[in-house]
């Protein structure tokens, strides 16, 4: 799964996390508010570390989504 996230920086914004998960930014904000995804506040901005996002995905069965040719392909870890 780490290979899927290699191109992303170590600290991610809500929009980027939403893109990775294949959900809306509002959904990511709800997950953050529910403490499902650990985050930090930098002023008014919410940031999520790539390591914490990987932990979140692995806790949920290692499911990630990759955009390819305008389709979402589900990728699961073995």
Q: Each residue of 19-75: pLDDT tens digit?
A: 998 899 999 999 999 999 999 999 999 999 999 998 888 888 765 444 444 444 454
Residue 69 Rama label (left phi>0; alpha psi -120 to 50; beta): left
Sequence ranges of the domains in the chain = 2-76
CB 63 within 8 A of CB 75: yes
Residue 52, SS3 per DSSP = helix
Of 3 and 14, the one with more pLDDT = 14
pLDDT at 22: 87
pLDDT at 62: 60
CATH for 2-76 (1.10.1660, 1.10.1060, 1.10.3470, 1.10.10): 1.10.1660
pTM: 0.74
Helix-, strand-, coil-residue percentages of the chain, each rounded to 5: 40, 30, 30
Residue 21, SS3 per DSSP = helix
């Amino acid at each position: 799964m780490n290979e899927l996230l290699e191109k992303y920086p170590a600290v991610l914004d809500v929009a980027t996390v939403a893109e990775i998960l294949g959900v809306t930014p509002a959904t990511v904000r709800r997950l953050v508010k529910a403490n499902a995804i650990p985050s930090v506040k930098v002023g008014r901005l919410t940031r999520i570390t790539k390591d914490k996002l990987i932990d979140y995905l692995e806790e949920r069965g290692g499911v990630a989504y990759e955009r390819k040719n305008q389709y979402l392909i589900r990728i699961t870890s073995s």
